[in-house]
Amino acid sequence: MEKRNAQQTEKEQEKEQPRLDEFELIHQLTHDFVNYHQHPVPNGDDAAIYLPESGQGQILCVDMMVEDIHFKRVTMSPFHIGYKALAANLSDIAAMGGKPHSFLVALAIPPSWSPTELKEMYQGMKKLADQYKVDLLGGDTTSTKDKLVLSITAIGQVNKNTTLLRSNAKAGDVVFVTGSLGDAAAGLDILLQANQRIEYGTAEKNKNNKIVDKVYKNKEQLIRAHQLPEPHVKQGQLLASLAQRGSIALNDISDGLASECSEIASSSKVNIVLNKERIPLSNELMAWAEDRQTDSLKYALHGGEDYKLVGTFPKELEEDIITTFHQDNLGITIIGHVEEGHGEVWITEKNQRSRIVEKGYNHFNETNKSKN
Ligand SMILES: Nc1ncnc2c1ncn2[C@@H]1O[C@H](COP(=O)(O)OP(=O)(O)OP(=O)(O)O)[C@@H](O)[C@H]1O
Ligand SMILES: Cc1ncc(C[n+]2csc(CCOP(=O)(O)O)c2C)c(N)n1
Ligand SMILES: [Mg+2]
Ligand SMILES: [Mg+2]
Ligand SMILES: [Mg+2]
């Protein structure tokens, strides 16, 4: 009880903090981002200038996170939000086989967010920025009335002749994924149902929270997969290093396996056939789904936010690619094959084939909206 009062007082004090001036706030949020590269003009002027390495193609991508669409205040701590927004962008760089270089942050801040929470959000970004040695090169900050919006633009580099495109799949290729799928979507279900902040991963705060520890003990991996996804950057680079030997298609899994396969199939004008028994599901997901009497596969096919990689390569490369992944202790699983066709995705189970029509997360689809 005493502890709760102390927590409440801390929150109230935070709310009473004077609002910082825009420029002071930007300085406080960004001053401790270590630089890993030399830039002719770093963050702080009208725009930054950076020096790409010669012979490298520049990868540019942007993905944003919006409060109550990508996270709720109960499902994600500020640390998780910052971490995951950068992870989603590094994942798109991974899907191009690239090496992350730097990033920019655009932020619309509502009055309900305290400077302390914003600093925590930047600490989440810093965790990955340090891990991948990427520099913060700039950004933009505005106020907004209601919900926080965080948009990250990431820059990466890849050999200019290496292109792991969605349109590279060919009939006869095999389909692979670089890890198990569905954990993140199950984690989201658990968090939405719990409707309270559960913070594994930044565990400090919950170290003494015995109730959370006990109730969510077997669900830690699922919750972490949702809050702190690991972008498969190394896996993407490994595939890029093998791409001169055959055409490789690659996509990261943000909207669910079915949706990403459908993007590859339609860009490449082929059909993709997945083998149901081969789709890797974690033991934790299967145990949780069995407990809830729900189908674990639908979390892998339609859940999203796994940030693993799915792609295709010619059958002749299978042995070499699998050996190379295993030498580096990285997972890779063949889950299907590519056929002539017009952009369809099929799934087989014991020689029975069915078409996958429901695709995955779509911002303008009513089914997803009703979940929020
Ligand atoms: N508003 C936009 N204006 C211009 N191009 C866009 C816009 N939104 C998306 N795109 C482009 O459309 C393509 C597909 O975008 P999408 O966001 O679906 O890819 P993704 O980042 O891999 O998926 P996700 O957003 O689910 O992580 C990308 O090349 C992207 O640059
Ligand atoms: C509170 C809450 N409700 C629903 C979801 C699920 N969700 C939101 S966006 C998205 C796809 C990836 O986003 P994008 O396509 O914008 O990259 C998914 C699976 C969530 N994370 N939090
Ligand atoms: Mg996107
Ligand atoms: Mg993306
Ligand atoms: Mg992507």
Question: What is the reported pLDDT for 242?
Answer: 95
Q: Is 260 close to ligand 1, i.e. is its CB under 6 Å away?
A: no
Question: What is the reported pLDDT for 294?
Answer: 95
Q: What digits encode the pLDDT tens for the residues 93-118? A: 999 999 999 999 999 999 999 999 99
Indicate whether 138 pLDDT > 60: yes
Q: What digits encode the pLDDT tens for the residues 13-62? A: 555 555 678 888 898 899 878 679 999 999 989 999 999 999 999 999 99
Q: How does the average pLDDT of the chain come out, rounded?
A: 90
Q: Is 92 close to ligand 1, i.e. is its CB under 6 Å away?
A: yes
Tokens standing for 359? 């695709």
Give 366-372 contacts, CB < 8 A, sequence gap 24+: 371/192, 372/68, 372/69
Question: Domain boundary residue among 161, 188, 214?
Answer: 161
Find the CATH number of the domain harbouring 59: 3.30.1330.10
**Phi-psi category of 204—alpha, beta or left, where left has phi over 0 and alpha has psi -120 to 50?**
alpha
Find the CATH number of the domain harbouring 324: 3.90.650.10
Q: What digits encode the pLDDT tens for the residues 275-311? A: 999 999 999 999 999 999 999 999 999 999 999 999 9
Q: What digits encode the pLDDT tens for the residues 165-224? A: 999 999 999 999 999 999 999 999 999 998 888 876 544 455 555 556 666 778 999 999
User: Looking up tokens 């925590």, which residue turns up?
Assistant: 120
Exposure string for 227-247, b = 16+ CB within 10 A, e = fewer: bbbbbbbebbbbbbebbeebb
Question: What is the reported pLDDT for 19?
Answer: 63
Report the share of the chain in percent with pLDDT over 70. Answer: 88
DSSP tag of 18: P
User: Do residues 264 and 310 make contact, with C-beta atoms less than 8 angstroms apart?
Assistant: yes
State how many domains the chain has: 2
Tokens standing for 69? 């669409």
Question: Domain boundary residue among 132, 161, 190?
Answer: 161
Q: 95 C-alpha to center of ligand 5: Å?
A: 7
- H helices of 17-77, in order, are 22-30
Candidate of 183, 252, 305, 359 to mutate for ligand 2, largest count of ligand atoms within 8 Å of Cβ: 305
> Are residues 149 and 254 both part of a single domain?
no
Q: 120 C-alpha to center of ligand 3: Å?
A: 24
Indicate whether 366 pLDDT > 70: no
DSSP tag of 204: G
Beta-carbon contacts of residue 310 (< 8 Å; ≥ 6 apart): 175, 176, 177, 178, 250, 251, 252, 253, 257, 260, 261, 264
Does any domain span residue 296? yes
**Phi-psi category of 77—alpha, beta or left, where left has phi over 0 and alpha has psi -120 to 50?**
beta
What angle is formed at CA 298 by the lines to CA 365 and CA 270, rounded to 5 degrees?
75
Question: Domain boundary residue among 128, 161, 194?
Answer: 161
> Are residues 209 and 339 both part of a single domain?
yes
